[in-house]
Amino acid sequence: QKEVEQNSGPLSVPEGAIASLNCTYSDRGSQSFFWYRQYSGKSPELIMSIYSNGDKEDGRFTAQLNKASQYVSLLIRDSQPSDSATYLCAVVYYGGSQGNLIFGKGTKLSVKP
């Protein structure tokens, strides 16, 4: 059973702080990792993708991947109240599947003004 685990939260941070979201996955055969943001009642929105070990930065967002530890994280710098949402970690497993995403349950982030 391929699994993606996230703390459900809520994670509460003050405005301007760094929010750190974590995700672990069970299968070493995975190679593609994604972070989606989902506002209440809306559909998931892709915010970051990462394919190799290390860091990838895009604006205020940094994704970090450590395949040896089967761990992927998302850092949000200078958090804003508009960042308050559920963040979904998703993994693509190869070897049989053709790219369907396996999602965690999401971490709810609350940024307090």
Partner 1 sequence: DTGVSQDPRHKITKRGQNVTFRCDPISEHNRLYWYRQTLGQGPEFLTYFQNEAQLEKSRLLSDRFSAERPKGSFSTLEIQRTEQGDSAMYLCASSLASAGLYEQYFGPGTRLTVT
Q: Which of 20, 26, 49, 110 binds partner 1 (CB under 8 A)?
A: 49
Is the separation of the CB atoms in 91 and 99 below 8 Å? no
Does position 53 bind partner 1 by CB under 8 A? no
Does position 4 bind partner 1 by CB under 8 A? yes
DSSP conformation letters of 20-38: EEEEEES-TTEEEEEEEEE
Does position 34 bind partner 1 by CB under 8 A? yes
Is the separation of the CB atoms in 101 and 5 below 8 Å? no
Residues engaged in binding partner 1 (CB under 8 A): 4, 8, 31-32, 34, 36, 42-46, 49, 51, 88, 90, 92, 97-106
